[in-house]
Amino acid sequence: MAATGSEKQGAKAFYVTTPIYYVNDAPHLGHAYTTVAGDVLTRWHRQRGEKVWYLTGTDEHGQKIMRTAEANNVTPQAWCDKLVEEAWKPLWEHLNIANDDFIRTTQKRHTDRVQEFVQDLYDKDEIYKGGYEGPYCVGCEEYKLPGDLIEAEDGTKLCPIHKKPVEILKEENYFFKLSEYGPKLLEFYEANPGFIQPESARNEVVNFVKQGLQDLSISRSTFDWGIPIPWDEKHVIYVWVDALLNYATAVGYNENPAKFEETFPANVHLVGKDILRFHAVIWPAMLMAQGLPVPGKVAANGWLMVGGEKMSKSNLTGIKPQDLTSHFGVDAYRWYFLRAIAFGSDGSFSWEDFTARYTSELANDYGNLASRVAAMVGKYFGGELPASTADGDAEKAVHEGLAKAVATADAKIGEELDFQGGILAIFDFVKQVNGYITEQEPWKVAKDDSPEGRARLATILYTAAESLRAVAVLLNPIMPETSQALWESLGAEASLGALAAQPVQSSGTWGQLPAGATVTKGAVLFPRLEDPKKD
């Protein structure tokens, strides 16, 4: 979605990030869920006319990547290059992700700046040398606290996320004085209650910090696939310190002051709940140590579950998004997960649930409405949209219903990250328009050839078509291809239109579709699904 001309030059961009994803394998539904959510959020703000910056990318250092590359008999860099170019970037293009940048942690624009950041902390006496021994999960790339581990039947200590044995590591490392930032973080959380979402995630982080923080090991010396510590190249920078800094290096930290000033910090970091502590504890502490501003919000989405287990590559439950888009289509895919699962909560994917919602809400409620309206304009007015001249209470109710839908969806999607609530508000309006047509019975009104009858019929069909125009705008961030197809079928102007132009409270205007526009019945927006068993 192109940015509108109402963007203010020099204004702070609405900056949204996804986690940078580990490239030990191809992406699955869980990765796509977070990325689509970020895309919908940033498209929504672009459609408001705001300046937006959407960042995603890949995390390419660390022991897990090194071992995966070795298992595939290639160098770590060759493995990363292959996965990024053949799997990650193509998927985001396939899903219509409109990211503004894609950062890779092996890029020089990142590695040089990471070394500078860590050197600055070292020079400020925020980093010291010491030793550490403890349980380490290679999958998480994280030292675990003993209390975090679970126990297998044979007594083996396992990572609670990957369900794999941890390794006991002992090495000489450099440490960041994280323990000193506990009181500052608690003070910050208290002053900014919306910093961590949802509330349950905030409570978890606050309780964790209240128990006391340990200093953070920020280097590793037992392998070399990482960014070297600038003052001691026998060590590489801990992969999580490396990874978190992408949010700064991608927008010009120590390289492009103007870009950095107008973008950083992020307004919203979208993360999985399993990496919440890194983003809500370590990352703000690092920024405080450097005197940089802290992000506006860290929003943790839940897990996609299959058979009661978190969907992941290591659990062999990673379903490819293409398995679903080939059957349901890309727009329906983008819509389904945000519609079916409350953002911030765990949710189970079900092929049957997707099919039922697609048929009921997309095909029957939305797609059928668009087809019926286009068909009636074609049948009764030769495809030329008539003017509305006989508005009454029924039309007023539709106008008010749209204003309510816009206001609710704008608050829920644009501000609260309640994608499900916003989508439901839009589809409540779709149902209202369907009900309006059922009650007004234009097929019966069409039998009245009097001027009053023709005016009434014209008003009904114009009201329905104008409602669809507004729905196309509201659903554009979620289903851009469908919205464009509907927009074209309604004969609207070339530009899809801005959210701010929609009737909402006292702003915006009803009646943007021009009378006389050519309405055509295009392809069915949501075709009937084929039985996958017949494939």
Number of CB atoms found within 10 A of residue 139's CB: 18
Quick one: which of 41, 7, 31, 15 has its CA closest to 253? Answer: 15
Which pLDDT score is estimated for 348? 85
Length of the chain in terms of residues written: 535
Residues 37 and 342: beta-carbon distance below 8 Å: no
Q: What is the tens place of the pLDDT at every residue in 155-199?
A: 777 877 667 787 777 778 999 999 999 999 999 999 999 999 999
DSSP letter string, 241-287: HHHHTHHHHTTTTTT-HHHHHHHPSPSEEEEEGGGHHIIIIIHHHHH
- Which residues, 6 or more positions from 308, have their beta carbon under 8 angstroms from its beta carbon? none
Rounded Cα distance, 502 and 472, in Å: 11
Number of CB atoms found within 10 A of residue 338's CB: 21
Number of CB atoms found within 10 A of residue 27's CB: 23
Which pLDDT score is estimated for 8? 53
Rounded Cα distance, 450 and 296, in Å: 60
Write phi, then psi, for 301 (nearest 5 degrees): -85, 160
Supply the residues annotated as catalytic: 28, 31, 137, 140, 159, 162, 310, 313
Residues 436 and 429: beta-carbon distance below 8 Å: no
Q: Which two tokens stand for residue 68?
A: 């995966």
Q: Which two tokens stand for residue 95?
A: 């899903």
- Which residues, 6 or more positions from 363, have their beta carbon under 8 angstroms from its beta carbon? 526, 527, 528
- Which residues, 6 or more positions from 497, have their beta carbon under 8 angstroms from its beta carbon? 469, 473, 512
The yes-or-no verdict on residue 23 having pLDDT over 60 is yes
Rounded Cα distance, 496 and 20, in Å: 31
At 304, which amino acid appears? L
Segment 510-531 mean pLDDT: 91
The yes-or-no verdict on residue 217 having pLDDT over 80 is yes
Which pLDDT score is estimated for 203? 96
Rg (CA), the chain: 26
Lateral strand order in the sheet of 219-220: 219-220, 232-237, 228-229
Measured in Å, how far apart are the chain's first and last C-alpha atoms?
35
Which pLDDT score is estimated for 316? 40
At 517, which amino acid appears? A
Helix H, strand E, coil C: the string for 160-225 is CCCCCECEEEEEEEEEECHHHHHHHHHHHHHHCCCCEECHHHHHHHHHHHHCCCCCEECEECCCCC
Q: How do strand 196-197 and strand 142-143 relate by DSSP bridges?
A: unpaired
Residues 335 and 423: beta-carbon distance below 8 Å: yes
How deeply is 455 buried, as exposed, middle or buried, from its count of CB atoms within 10 A (0-12, 13-18, 19+)?
A: middle
How would residue 535 be classed by pLDDT, with cut points 50, 70 and 90?
very low
Q: What is the tens place of the pLDDT at every residue in 473-508?
A: 999 999 999 999 999 999 987 666 676 666 544 345
Rounded Cα distance, 333 and 322, in Å: 10
At 155, which amino acid appears? G
Which pLDDT score is estimated for 5? 38
Using DSSP's 3-state secondary structure scheme, residue 522 falls into: coil
Mean pLDDT (the chain) is 90
Segment 117-131 mean pLDDT: 95
The yes-or-no verdict on residue 392 having pLDDT over 70 is yes
The yes-or-no verdict on residue 122 having pLDDT over 80 is yes
Rounded Cα distance, 217 and 132, in Å: 8
Q: Which two tokens stand for residue 241?
A: 């310190």
State how far the alpha carbon of 335 is from the alpha carbons of 267, 313, 328, 452, 478, in Å.
23, 24, 11, 41, 6
Range with lowest mean pLDDT among 147-151, 237-241, 335-339, 432-436: 147-151
- Binding-site residue numbers for Zn(2+) are 137, 140, 159, 162
Find residue 136's DSSP bridge partners. 143, 167
Rounded Cα distance, 502 and 398, in Å: 13
Q: What is the DSSP letter of 457?
A: H
Using DSSP's 3-state secondary structure scheme, residue 515 falls into: coil
Q: How many CA atoms lie within 13 A of 465 on its CB side?
A: 35
Q: How do strand 304-306 and strand 347-348 relate by DSSP bridges?
A: parallel
Which pLDDT score is estimated for 446? 97
